[in-house]
Amino acid sequence: MTYSQRLVNLLLGLAPIALALMLSTLVLIAAGAPPLEAYKHLLQGASESPAKIADVLVVWVPLVLCSAGLLFTFTAGLWNIGVEGQIIFGVIFATWVARNIYLPAMLLLPLMILAGMIGGALWGLLAGTLKVYGGIHEIFGGLGLNFIAMTTNIWLIAKPWRPDLGATMQGTDPFQPAAWLPRLAGLRLSPVSLLLAVMAVVVVFFILRGTLWGLQLRAIGKNVRSAYLLGIATNRHMLLSFALCGALAGLAGVIQVSGVWGRDIPQISGGIGYLALLVAMLSGFRALGVAPVALFFAAIGVGAARLHLRMQLDPSLAGVLEAGLVLSVLLVAGLRTRLPREG
């Protein structure tokens, strides 16, 4: 590769960030806010204290779990839009365990994690079955299953898991103490959840890059018919990719319900499943790229609250920043396809 080609690649790599900053700056100017001051508050809001840094990691953990799981289905050429529902079913299965089984924490927590991963995997497997055997596109099937999961969770909170004192839309009664993931002193962050997220990224990386199954999954994603003619069990591998993605989403749900809230609430998924789709795409569908991209989104989400407190700007500005980055990446990706290729 020549010096000029390396320079072009570097500029194209930096272009999305520059474009996103430009778009965000124009929005801030239109809103009558000093851009530099807004960016300063955004950064400080995500890093001004150990508690804020912990809050960023609290958002990062479920986001990186779902994003890493999505790499399985994306590698197979599948759009698993149903991650939100898979998070919720992980929550439902874990909540049932927390409410009905009484064991010491060292036994109960692994059981909750296992139950949540099974719940997410089963819901993911249902989306895969609809795709593989029902001929229903995974986007439409996933969106429908998300709605079913959400309404099921709301019904459970409002009826069989209704709190003794009412207030059903606030969630279930708090879990027994043994069902809470241990936290760092004075912070909302559980070191167990952080360890699980790091382990998940490493495992996904090695599965997709260092195993025969990962190679077969990439072949399916390139051309499913050709992979089938080469003797690859395409249906089985696609179903397994949905199940593994759902398992990691279910694990994210367990962490939300056991490590953050300590009970089931109606909006427990918090849109993490949809945001994870953007993280996976912006990471270039690479496991090692998921962690820093997810950290960026988590920091923006936490830091945006300071914009409202200090500058009276709507916290939804974080969404503008995120959308600007996504749009910029897509524009640069389109530009890359029009440039002459090496050799």
What is the percent of the chain where pLDDT is above 70? 94
Question: Any alpha helices (H) in the chain, and if so which ranges?
Answer: 3-30, 35-47, 50-75, 83-100, 105-132, 138-158, 191-210, 212-222, 224-229, 234-255, 272-282, 287-311, 317-338
Question: What CATH number did the domain enclosing 253 receive?
Answer: 1.10.3470
**Helix/strand/coil for 13:** helix
Tokens of 118: 């099974």
128 and 266 assigned to the same domain: yes
- DSSP string computed for 184-214: -TTSS--HHHHHHHHHHHHHHHHHHHHSHHH
Contact 303, 260 (CB under 8 A): no
276 and 139 assigned to the same domain: yes
pLDDT given at position 97: 98
Cα(258)–Cα(91) distance, integer angstroms: 9
Amino acid at 256: Q
Kindly report the backbone phi and psi dihedral angles of residue 314, in degrees, each rounded to the nearest multiple of 5, phi listed first.
-65, 135
Cα(131)–Cα(135) distance, integer angstroms: 5
Q: What does the pLDDT average to over 244-262?
A: 97
88 and 229 assigned to the same domain: yes
pTM here?
0.90
- Sequence-ordered strand ranges (E) for 94-159: none
- List, for residues 188-198, the tens digit of each pLDDT value: 899 999 999 99
Kindly report the backbone phi and psi dihedral angles of residue 122, in degrees, each rounded to the nearest multiple of 5, phi listed first.
-65, -40
109 and 122 assigned to the same domain: yes
Residue 341 pLDDT class (50, 70, 90 cuts): low
Cα(84)–Cα(273) distance, integer angstroms: 5
> Which residues are within 8 A (CB) of 192 and not within 5 positions of it... i.e. 6 or more apart?
109, 181, 182, 259
Q: What does the pLDDT average to over 204-229?
A: 95
pLDDT surpasses 70 at 121: yes
234 and 333 assigned to the same domain: no
6 and 96 assigned to the same domain: no
Domain count for the chain: 2
337 and 307 assigned to the same domain: no
98 and 19 assigned to the same domain: no
| End-to-end Cα spacing for the chain | 10
Q: What does the pLDDT average to over 93-118?
A: 97
- List, for residues 67-95, the tens digit of each pLDDT value: 999 999 999 999 999 999 999 999 999 99
153 and 242 assigned to the same domain: yes
pLDDT given at position 168: 56
> Which residues are within 8 A (CB) of 141 and not within 5 positions of it... i.e. 6 or more apart?
82, 127, 130, 131, 134
User: Whole domain around residue 17: which residue ranges?
Assistant: 1-33+314-343
Q: What does the pLDDT average to over 151-170?
A: 83
**Helix/strand/coil for 33:** coil
- DSSP string computed for 106-152: HHHHHHHHHHHHHHHHHHHHHHHHHHHTT---HHHHHHHHHHHHHHH
Residue 166 pLDDT class (50, 70, 90 cuts): low
109 and 173 assigned to the same domain: yes
152 and 60 assigned to the same domain: yes
61 and 199 assigned to the same domain: yes
Q: What does the pLDDT average to over 251-273?
A: 95
Judged on CB neighbours under 10 Å (0-12, 13-18, 19+), 41 is buried
